[in-house]
Amino acid sequence: MKKFSTYLIFVFIFNLAAANWVLADSSTTLQAVQEDTQNLINIKDQENTTSTLDKKTEIAVRLEVFNKVLDFSLNETQDIISQLNNLNNLATSSKSDLRNQLLDKFQGFVEFYSEQKANLASTTTEIDLAGLKKLAQDFKDWRAQNYLPIFETATDFLLLNQQKTILGIAEKRYQKISSDIYKLKKANLTGTDRLENYLNQADISLKEAKGLWQKAEDEFSTSTSSIKGLISDSLNKIKETYQIFIEMSNFVKKLLK
């Protein structure tokens, strides 16, 4: 019986260890695009204090910065397209339709940025600092009016679906650990009452995480407000659940000593 109990403990620790994974946050180049574009808009005309050669050099450098802003924007847009394409088994046809609509929008953004880069590379008209500032301001205004609202919708949509996947993984891990505790209890292992207390705490955190996710899904369907705060809160509850799993693992390891 003792050998059997020890075997069950090792199985339990293995399952807990499998639960100790890193929840990585996705990042974009949005901030870099906004900052570099704003820096171009804030250019000060130094016509009276700099030579013609210096001005041409500065303009060339700043045009290169604007070209990199377009590269950042392209990468950001293509990353969203990739993530949307990776969404599988969407629960409803309306979600599939939204995914396809977003893909069409972002493909249009790719074409716009590519056209801007081509125009910048082929222009034969000499541009001054004032012209460059206008170019940057027009680009910023276009993003604010056309790109950012769709970007916010897409990132909310992606976060909602990613969090659903994370919840599913956590719930499966909870069920496996619950089954292991039941086996340990049947083997009359000392300390299972403590493990059940931990499991109850994990259950509460998981239910709160799912409730926050459900609220986020409801708001996404009925409101234009961002759901990022709700998704962040739901994710924190998942992290809290995994922290409880870690504490359970540490407790079980002590039983082997």
pLDDT tens digits for range 153-163: 999 999 999 99
The answer to whether residue 47 scores a pLDDT higher than 80 is no
What is the pLDDT of the chain when averaged over all its residues? 82
Name which of 198, 237, 192 is nearest 215 in CA terms: 237
The answer to whether residue 48 scores a pLDDT higher than 50 is no
Q: Please, which pLDDT band fits residue 150 given cuts at 50, 70 and 90? A: very high
The answer to whether residue 19 scores a pLDDT higher than 50 is no
Percent of the chain with pLDDT over 90: 47
Name which of 182, 208, 176 is nearest 195 in CA terms: 182
pLDDT at 29: 55
Query: For residue 120, which amino acid is it?
Result: L
Residue range 233-251: mean pLDDT, rounded: 90
Q: Please, which pLDDT band fits residue 15 given cuts at 50, 70 and 90? A: low
Task: Return the top range by mean pLDDT from 30-44, 57-71, 152-166.
Answer: 152-166
pLDDT at 51: 53
Name which of 145, 66, 77, 141 is nearest 111 in CA terms: 77
Of 11-20, 137-146, 223-232, the one with minimum mean pLDDT is 11-20
Residue range 97-118: mean pLDDT, rounded: 96
pLDDT at 149: 94
| Top-confidence residue, 5 or 66 | 66
Is residue 181 within 8 A of residue 12, CB to CB? The reply is yes
Q: Report the half-sphere exposure of 66 (CA within 13 A, side-chain side).
A: 27
Name which of 165, 185, 167 is nearest 12 in CA terms: 185
Q: Please, which pLDDT band fits residue 232 given cuts at 50, 70 and 90? A: very high
Name which of 212, 226, 111 is nearest 167 in CA terms: 212
